[in-house]
Amino acid sequence: MKLIIVPLSLLLLAGCASKDYAVYVDAQKSMSKDLTISETARLAALTDMVKNSDPAVRATGIMLLQQLQQGSKTVTVESPKKNWLGF
């Protein structure tokens, strides 16, 4: 009986280490990096607008910075599907 339980439990636990999870983690890292780079570029552009000497451009830059603070969305990737045992 013990000879059957040990290999069976090892096979069930091996399903947890699938390559789907590694792909999921890599996608999350890549998306986080891309989001950080794009947000940095957007903030740099808006900061340049605020430093402009034209009052209309400066007012638009301030308004856009305020809108940016109010509504930021996060991008997520669905986690890999679990097997029938919940692992």
pTM greater than 0.75 (yes/no): no
pLDDT for 62 equals 87
Q: Write the CB contacts of 73 (distance below 8 Å, at least 6 apart in sequence).
A: none
Average pLDDT (32-41) is 88
The H or E element that residue 30 is part of is helix 19-50
pLDDT for 85 equals 65
Question: Taking 60 as the threshold, does the pLDDT of residue 47 lie above it?
Answer: yes
Question: Taking 60 as the threshold, does the pLDDT of residue 17 lie above it?
Answer: no
Q: Which residues of 68-87 are buried (b: 16+ CB within 10 A; e: fewer)?
A: eeeeeeeeeeeeeeeeeeee
pLDDT for 32 equals 86
The answer to whether 65 and 50 are in contact (CB under 8 A) is yes
Question: Taking 80 as the threshold, does the pLDDT of residue 2 lie above it?
Answer: no
